[in-house]
């Protein structure tokens, strides 16, 4: 019997060995191949790639949905001609290009419909010729394209961020993020970029950076759109300080900005440094507060005046007392303190004030009037006495530090501080001045206007504080000549402009945007004669409660007693010196009412409060309201210095260009009419 050989078992062994050898050869060839990426030449990397492919397939539907959204947004922007419209808006030619924009939008709508119809017809023909495979192929290609458009990108909405944590610091590490922020805020164009003058660095409790804008771009536009830039940088606007770089090393397109780590006004208030000062010189700027970068801000008072405006309980009285504190600590300074509120905020100053009135009754208003008349006569007398001094002592017919401290000459720095000035300016009591009837409030306004205009050169400083900064409270003739302005929080941009000046909100300074919790924080517009190189700045005033104010006033009285300069109300002498009232009336003009000719007077009556709130008024509106003939009206207004201009105004369907008058020109014509009527001419002294 023959033996059977294990052929099958041998055959199996040989087959397994051959397969294993084939796998090894393929694996070796895979690893040596240059066409295979290095990251896929190991089994671990290959398994990772397979896993990633699986995850990509799982994410594919979501990417397609996002791609649909991205494509729809892009098509909507294209069909609505947003690129052309934005370019026209930046060039302020939207009204001129409106017809072209509508025509182009209609053309793009028609093109979209034509393309959609053509694609539908082509797909129907191909489906008829080749069957359903065409539809499946088109759907696959479209899905892939949409998935690519909707793939996740760093920094996009709802997608992963580049850095962990807030994105507010990304611009300090990547200049491209900063450029994108300027583009998002529409401060530079899509094809424009920035030039870094210096890289981001730590300055105090924040980051600082200086950049050069593209040619023709201006730093003032960045300041004006500071809120948009803050949004693009993902910070609160109170944390962002933007300034134009001036002087040597600066130009109109160089911008410095500083971003605080947190709200710079949220910390505890800082006490005034005057508490640690034994005495002060009125000729030195007064410590007023600190800016967002915690730099001290000083407020000069000699040669200028100050208006403080705010709604109640925002720190208005504190700011006025800070300005007066430096004068209190100068024993040679003289103070007129009038408190229309009638409280105890200014009681401590009574012990050193030369003239003091506290209250809102009629008798108090008459006392304020009499003291101001006395001071106007004093200013006239000072000019007359300075004219007799030699050129070495008085070289320019202006008061000097030596003159102000010479007790024998009797011309000290004199401050008129009036809190709640609207109480006196709105007094409706009728009285006759210079043969003409007027109101007590109007007369006081004219006296203050004279002191603000003519007083600085004679050593008179006027500080006014009010919680009603409207055109009725403070007449434009008075408000226009007040040098320094400080606006704490107010109700709206109109009130802010009344305090800070015309169109300050369009330049990026609006006190109505200040936060209610920021007590003592306001926008300071310093006088043009100061050393400040900015139009305005946000300042947090020093903190000086009643206890500190009383301590400063006690020290001020002691200094005056030691110097022998205590006088007037402080020593019980309230008698008003005899004054030639006719001379005062003559210098103020023939009566206190301003002689405004027609039709300018009718225009002012028609506009009322809007004379300060509006920037432009159309001619058609005035002609219809005043019922005058258009040609004669235009000729008469031109003769008064108000020439018509053309401006774009909103219309029912867009904007249109119309003729009209700038309210700034109307106010200037009113001021000129007052001057020409004999009021406050420099040559009358």
Report pLDDT for 638: 86
Flag whether 391 is in a domain.
yes
Q: What percent of the chain has pLDDT over 90?
A: 21
Looking at the fold, whether 458 and 566 belong to one and the same domain comes out as yes
Q: What digits encode the pLDDT tens for the residues 613-628?
A: 788 889 888 888 877 7
Looking at the fold, whether 34 and 109 belong to one and the same domain comes out as no
418, 463 Cβ separation under 8 angstroms:
yes
Flag whether 156 is in a domain.
no
Question: pTM of the prediction?
Answer: 0.63
How far apart are alpha carbons 612 and 505 in whole angstroms?
13
Looking at the fold, whether 203 and 234 belong to one and the same domain comes out as yes
Looking at the fold, whether 550 and 629 belong to one and the same domain comes out as no
Flag whether 283 is in a domain.
no
Of residues 592 and 560, the one with the higher pLDDT is 560
Flag whether 265 is in a domain.
no
Looking at the fold, whether 414 and 560 belong to one and the same domain comes out as yes
Of residues 17 and 123, the one with the higher pLDDT is 123
Read off the CATH number of the domain in which 621 is found: 1.10.10
Answer yes or no: is pLDDT of 609 > 70. Answer: no
Looking at the fold, whether 39 and 52 belong to one and the same domain comes out as no
196, 175 Cβ separation under 8 angstroms:
yes
231, 185 Cβ separation under 8 angstroms:
yes
> Mean pLDDT highest for which of 155-164, 183-192, 457-466?
457-466
Report pLDDT for 287: 93
Of residues 660 and 17, the one with the higher pLDDT is 660
Answer yes or no: is pLDDT of 351 > 90. Answer: yes
Looking at the fold, whether 342 and 491 belong to one and the same domain comes out as yes
How far apart are alpha carbons 586 and 427 in whole angstroms?
23
Flag whether 2 is in a domain.
no
Read off the CATH number of the domain in which 303 is found: 3.40.50.300
Looking at the fold, whether 459 and 329 belong to one and the same domain comes out as yes
Region 587-600 average pLDDT: 58
Looking at the fold, whether 508 and 643 belong to one and the same domain comes out as no
Report pLDDT for 424: 92
Q: What digits encode the pLDDT tens for the residues 362-421?
A: 999 999 999 999 999 999 899 988 888 888 888 888 899 999 998 888 899 999 999 999
Cα distances from 236 to residues 168, 204, 228, 264, 604, in angstroms, run 10, 18, 10, 11, 40
596, 636 Cβ separation under 8 angstroms:
no
Flag whether 158 is in a domain.
no
Looking at the fold, whether 192 and 304 belong to one and the same domain comes out as no
Looking at the fold, whether 62 and 33 belong to one and the same domain comes out as no
Of residues 60 and 303, the one with the higher pLDDT is 303
Domain that holds residue 112: 48-149
Answer yes or no: is pLDDT of 266 > 90. Answer: no
Q: What digits encode the pLDDT tens for the residues 42-51?
A: 666 666 666 6
Of residues 262 and 677, the one with the higher pLDDT is 262
340, 515 Cβ separation under 8 angstroms:
no
Concatenated DSSP letters of 405-453 = T-TTTT---EEEEEESTHHHHT---EEEETTEEEEHHHHHHHHHHHHHH
Report pLDDT for 12: 47
Domain count, the chain: 5
Confidence of residue 486 (pLDDT cuts 50, 70, 90): very high
Report pLDDT for 236: 83
Phi (first) and psi of residue 368, to 5 degrees:
-60, -45
Task: Please tell me what DSSP assigns to residue 283.
Answer: T
Report pLDDT for 495: 82
Looking at the fold, whether 433 and 557 belong to one and the same domain comes out as yes
How far apart are alpha carbons 88 and 96 in whole angstroms?
9
């Amino acid at each position: 019997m023959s033996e059977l050989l294990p052929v099958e078992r041998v055959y199996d062994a040989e087959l397994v060995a051959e397969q294993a050898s084939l796998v090894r050869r393929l694996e070796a060839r895979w690893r040596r191949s240059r066409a295979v990426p290095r990251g896929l030449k190991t089994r671990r990397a290959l398994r990772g790639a397979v896993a990633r492919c699986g995850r990509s397939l799982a994410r594919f539907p979501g990417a397609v949905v996002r791609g649909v959204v991205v494509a729809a947004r892009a098509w909507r922007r294209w069909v609505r001609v947003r690129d052309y419209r934005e370019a026209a808006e930046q060039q302020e030619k939207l009204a001129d290009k409106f017809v072209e924009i509508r025509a182009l939008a209609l053309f793009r709508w028609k093109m979209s419909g034509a393309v959609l119809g053509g694609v539908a017809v082509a797909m129907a023909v191909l489906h008829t010729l080749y069957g359903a495979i065409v539809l499946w192929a088109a759907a696959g290609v479209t899905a892939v394209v949409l998935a690519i458009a909707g793939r996740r990108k760093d920094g996009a909405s709802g997608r992963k961020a580049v850095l962990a944590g807030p994105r507010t610091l990304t611009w300090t590490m990547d200049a491209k993020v900063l450029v994108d922020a300027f583009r998002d805020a529409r401060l530079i164009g899509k094809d424009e970029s920035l030039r870094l003058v210096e890289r981001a660095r730590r300055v105090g409790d924040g980051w600082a950076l200086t950049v050069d804008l593209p040619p023709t771009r201006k730093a003032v536009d960045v300041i004006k759109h500071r809120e948009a830039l803050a949004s693009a940088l993902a910070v609160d606007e109170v944390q962002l300080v933007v300034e134009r770089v001036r002087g040597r090393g600066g130009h109109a397109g160089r911008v410095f900005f500083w971003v605080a780590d947190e709200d710079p006004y949220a910390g505890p208030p800082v006490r005034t440094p005057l508490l640690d000062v034994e005495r002060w010189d009125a000729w030195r700027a007064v410590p007023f507060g600190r800016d967002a970068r915690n730099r001290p801000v000083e407020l000069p008072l000699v040669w200028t005046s100050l208006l403080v405006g705010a709604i109640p309980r925002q720190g208005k009285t504190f700011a006025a007392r800070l300005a007066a504190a430096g004068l209190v600590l100068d024993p040679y300074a003289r103070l007129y303190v009038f408190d229309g509120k009638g409280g105890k905020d200014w009681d401590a100053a009574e012990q050193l004030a030369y003239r003091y009135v506290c209250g809102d009754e009629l008798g108090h208003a008459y006392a304020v009037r009499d003291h101001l008349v006395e001071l106007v006569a004093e200013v006239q007398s000072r000019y007359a006495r300075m004219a007799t001094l030699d050129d070495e002592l008085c070289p320019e017919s202006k008061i000097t530090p030596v003159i102000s401290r010479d007790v024998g000459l009797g011309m000290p720095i004199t401050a008129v501080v009036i809190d709640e000035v609207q109480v006196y300016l709105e007094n409706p009591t009728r009285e006759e001045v210079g043969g003409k009837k007027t109101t007590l409030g109007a007369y006081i306004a004219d006296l203050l206007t004279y002191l603000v205009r003519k007083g600085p050169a004679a050593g008179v400083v006027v500080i006014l504080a009010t919680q009603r900064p409207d055109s009725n409270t403070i007449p434009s003739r008075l408000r226009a000549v007040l040098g320094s302005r400080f606006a704490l929080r107010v109700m709206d941009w109109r009130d802010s402009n009344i305090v800070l000046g015309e169109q300050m909100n369009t330049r990026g300074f609006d006190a109505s945007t200040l936060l209610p919790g920021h007590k003592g924080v306001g926008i300071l517009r310093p006088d043009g004669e100061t050393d400040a190189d900015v139009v305005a700045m946000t300042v947090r005033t020093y903190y000086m409660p009643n206890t500190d104010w009383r301590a400063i006033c006690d020290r001020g009285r002691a200094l005056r007693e030691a110097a022998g300069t205590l006088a007037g109300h402080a020593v019980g002498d309230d008698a008003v010196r005899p004054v030639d009232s006719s001379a005062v009336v003559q210098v103020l003009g023939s009566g206190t009412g301003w002689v405004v000719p027609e039709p300018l007077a009718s225009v002012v009556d028609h506009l009322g409060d809007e004379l300060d709130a509006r920037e432009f008024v159309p001619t058609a509106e005035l002609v219809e309201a005043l019922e005058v003939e258009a040609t004669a009206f235009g000729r008469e207004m031109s003769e008064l210095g108000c020439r018509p201009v053309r401006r774009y105004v909103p219309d029912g369907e867009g904007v249109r260009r119309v003729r009209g008058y700038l309210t700034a020109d109307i106010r200037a014509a009113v001021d000129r009419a007052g001057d020409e009527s004999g009021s406050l001419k420099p040559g009358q002294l």
